[in-house]
Amino acid sequence: MFRVSAESSNRIDCNQLRMRDMEHKNFIYTPIWVRILSIGALAVTLVMSLFVTWSYLDTDKDTWVLVAMSLAQVSASGLAFVLVIFYSSRDAGVAGLRQKTNTFLCRVIPRVLLFIDFPKPAAADWKKAKTSGGRIRKDLANSPTTIAIKKISGDNSALYTVNALSERLTLRVQVNVWELTVSYYFPAQSEADLERLKGQLDWAMSRFTQIAGYKESWYFSEEEFDQQTYVSVHLTKNFDRDFLDDDRQKLNFAQDLAASSRSLIKECKARGIALSH
């Protein structure tokens, strides 16, 4: 009996995934001239079919009417399909990806970071809980947390100053399509502070490194955003290749970032670690 080895099976699986990925990319990266030609051809076919149907509607040429109606139905369906595919939110062009990166950094992350410090609501019957979008916006507006952001449009990173829990936390998020890096900055006087802070914050960073699978690296340097010296930790992780198109992944990242930042602020307050100069 013929058996496929594990190595051969893995090679087949990889090849199949690569072929599906290539087909997916070819479908998304359709040249603009092909899009225009496809839409134009379908639109012209639809108009001509409707014209023929209308012209022969009161005649005895039933065959022509049936053919024209069938062609109109096919072209209308094809036109709707092409418009949905070509102009859907899954635009993988460079400009589209940059816009999604800007929106993620400037809108999604700050709004979720507002939940780092939040008034605790009074207990109420669950049937009276309000879940509307307007209620969410109202609660966000009442958050005591404030967020300041430094961001250059088109750049793939943003610097956030988070005022929450009576502390001021500085962090940076960099989005390289599907590779994300979170950086935290702790005031320091010399490189000798690096190992001390690294040891004190080992438990706080374990939420990223041991639970979420981030890779960490530590540095001491003078930072360009305020010309002060800091010990910084940089946490990097690769997400799925469609990260910028997946709202679930983006919300998961932002909520995890807010929860981890809240824990970090509390840990630093408990250990007497300064978060700002």
Tokens of 137: 């916006």
Instruction: Give dist(CA 50, CA 71) in Å, integer.
Output: 9
Q: What is the pLDDT of residue 123?
A: 85
pLDDT by 10-residue block (mean), the chain, 277 residues: 43 46 48 79 89 82 84 88 69 79 96 89 81 81 93 93 96 97 97 95 93 96 96 97 93 96 96 94
Query: How many C-beta neighbours within 10 Å does residue 150 have?
Result: 12
Angle in degrees, 0-180, between the axes of helices 62-86 and 32-55, rounded to the nearest 10: 150
Instruction: Give dist(CA 10, CA 134) in Å, integer.
Output: 50
Q: What is the pLDDT of residue 29?
A: 54
Tokens of 262: 């809240």
Domain map (residue ranges) of the chain: 6-86, 94-271
Instruction: Give dist(CA 133, CA 130) in Å, integer.
Output: 9
Q: What is the pLDDT of residue 139?
A: 82
Tokens of 203: 């438990």
Q: What is the pLDDT of residue 154?
A: 84
Instruction: Give dist(CA 123, CA 276) in Å, integer.
Output: 35
User: Is residue 31 classed as helix, strand or coil in its secondary structure?
Assistant: coil
Instruction: Give dist(CA 173, CA 214) in Å, integer.
Output: 13
* Radius of gyration in angstroms for the set of CA atoms belonging to the chain, rounded to a whole number: 27
Residue 68: its H or E element: helix 62-86
